[in-house]
Structure 1
Amino acid sequence: MTKDPTLTGEDPDVAAAELALGLLEGEERAVALRRVLAEPGFAQQVERWRLHLAQLFDVWPEVDAPSGVMERVDLALDGPATPPPVTLLRTGRLWPGLAAASSLIAASLLMIVLIRPAPPVPVAVPPKQQPVAAAPARMLVASIDPSAAGKPVTAVYDPVTGGLRLTESTLADANRSAELWVIAADGIPHSLGLLRTSGGTNFTLAGDKRARLAVGATLAISLEPVGGSPTGLPTGPVVATGALSQV
């Protein structure tokens, strides 16, 4: 079993990083996936690399607003300056009469302002929020490719119903059963059931099995005694693997 390099101080397993980056192909990828099934420490390293690399997608550079934007906004809000009013001539006999009339008008307006009740303060009514429709859950698919000769098994998972459909599997003979496993973030294989040898296989998953079927989780097929693994973990060879992705 591979030791955890974060505890022993050893160099990290390069194969874990290469598997997380998708650099392995063919037999090298099959060997690494078999290690994921058999070595929890190696599976944890792969998951840590995936989480570390996923954080890089959140790093985006900030973009400053163009210069002069705030000045243009302030100018648009304030508007053009109002020209000063034209001053009336205060000479001649017309000015005293206009001054007296202006005083009477100002006094009348002051009385109206004092005795008129203050207008009610308008209460802002919050806009009615429209319900936001939830985005439909996207289907997950995986091509479970055999490590040797044989036809791949295609898996389609519907997160809404929990239905998992697989095409026909010809990986097992009459003396053995093909058992399907999922390896999620915990790095531990969990059985999903036995595959039929003809006509495809349908599962309806519930509970924690649904939570384990997510993007990046590995589906694997092992050959077990007739009726399935007696231990709850793979006992026979892992003959096919594939990772779940969205469509």
Structure 2
Amino acid sequence: MDYSKRELADRLAAEYALGTLRGGARRRLQQLLPAHPALAAAVRGWEARMQTLAAPLPEMAPSPRVWQQVQATLFTPAGAPQRWWQGLAVWRGLSAVAVAATLALAVVVVQPPPVQPPLVVVLNGTPDGAALVSAGFVASISADGRALVLKPLGTAQVADGRALELWAVPSGAAPRSLGLVSAQGSTTVLRNEILKGAQALAVSLEPAGGSPTGAPTGPIVSVGSI
């Protein structure tokens, strides 16, 4: 994924600063910031915008005329006819409504939305791949379907000149490449609708640099149903 693209960097930075980017996706973005100056600059920009919204407003003293009008409205001389808006009961009622509205808004703002658990897919080794790459994988996909983390279930050695590639496998359609993956550590995939239409995830053994045809060319070494 090209994080130098302004639109992509700005969208991710906005979600990060607003707090809508959560869980593993948020942690992955934090890990990516040192290596992507454009992304880091976008995050700083959005954080600066949010800080201005939280800045305290300067105190403003009302003019003497305003205070005179307030006193004339609230403190009617004895015996003078009282208008309906000067009644104490009216203001008590309005105060109660305002307090109830404030409490309701506080509950909505403070109560976080329920956190959706990620989807976990276990990819087991296949008989064809056992002699080549003896390792399974586990994939964790975020609830919004825009982030995937693939981890090996053991250690595996890939021969020189070969690479592992991850595929989303739809039903009745050609596999869709999700990029090269590591047999030694975690691999992160960030894109929209990672699992769109997919029924399984698979890892194939390909030439270095990935499949030259856009479809799996080597043996499938690991597969898991979604």
| TM-score normalised by length of structure 1 | 0.40
| TM-score normalised by length of structure 2 | 0.43
Larger fraction in helix:
2
Structure with the bigger RCO (C-alpha within 8 Å, sep 6+) is 1
